[in-house]
Amino acid sequence: MTKGQIRQSLSGYYDVVTEDGAEYRTRARGNFRKKKQTPLVGDFVEFKADKVDEGYILEIYPRKNQLIRPPMANIDTAIVVTACVEPDFSSNLLDRQLVMLEANQVSPVLYFSKFDLLDETKAKKITEIVEYYRQFYPVYLGGLPADQNVLTEMLANLHQQVIVVMGQTGAGKSTLLNQLKPNLNLATGEISKALSRGRHTTRKVSLLPIGDNLLADTPGFSSFELLDIDKESLPLLFPDFTVLQAGCKFRGCLHINEPKCAVKEAVLSEKILPSRYDNYKHFYEAIINQKPKYR
């Protein structure tokens, strides 16, 4: 048996690459269907192959995380593309994405796009927001397309990572993906969205080499619901809150109704962005009010 990583899935076939760079085309054994397991791009697997195009996956190693759309496993980093304008900047959506990434053990890298389209007043406001997030996450700021120097700097800090690009509709995910891997030729803009409606597309996901990293060839995370997060875990997913947690009077403080809460004090003294705390309260309310899930 040989160990490798699934780099592409297509029509029931899985292309697996071993540590020494050899590639095998494999299929999954029937017992995976009985166990209701489906191999995913990014999975580390044990397989057996007598020929390079006739292999069988025998075991899937435990995953650290997985996505529904696109179907992938073991993601290390997500480049979150957030528009400064067109569409307007949404702190709620950005924080929702960051919470979901933290919950799934995916490291966020933030790219604020379309900064060049802002007037002086709006640019000043966005810059203040960007500088706040820069305290806790790697942050890059620029136009669309992105400046090549910015992309070079971004990738220089990423090594041996499985990377997805994600973000709101219209922020420029496909444009950034095309810049990171020019031979992708992904369609961009409203015209491509109109053309793709109703068209049959082959469900294919690939991991493509980019430096010493692997880049998913399709934008990730189309759903940003805060499912499977409980109210006790939520504050731990805000790094700007966790650095203050020890200053709260009560252990396990939820930063909502408790007295002598260091987080609420930091909001009042403007050390925490008010929008950040407002979003936290919004997520907290959504979690405590969601209907129980029965499985």
Binding residues for Zn(2+): 248, 253, 255, 261
273-282 long-range contacts, CB within 8 A, separation 24+: 273/91, 273/129, 273/132, 275/91, 275/92, 275/95, 275/129, 276/91, 276/95, 276/132, 276/238, 276/240, 279/91, 279/92, 279/95, 279/96, 280/95, 280/234, 280/235, 280/238, 280/241, 280/255, 281/256, 282/92
Decide if 13 contacts 53 (C-beta within 8 A). no
- Return the C-alpha torsion angle 229, 128, 133, 289, nearest 10: 0
Decide if 80 contacts 109 (C-beta within 8 A). yes
Exposure class string for 274-291: b at 16+ Cβ within 10 A, else e: ebbbebbeebbeebeeee
Q: Which residues make up each annotated binding site for GTP?
A: 113-116, 167-175
Tokens of 263: 């987080």
Q: Which residues make up each annotated binding site?
A: 113-116, 167-175, 248, 253, 255, 261
Q: How far apart are CA 287 and CA 227, in angstroms?
A: 8
Decide if 166 contacts 221 (C-beta within 8 A). yes
| Cis before 145? omega within 30 | yes
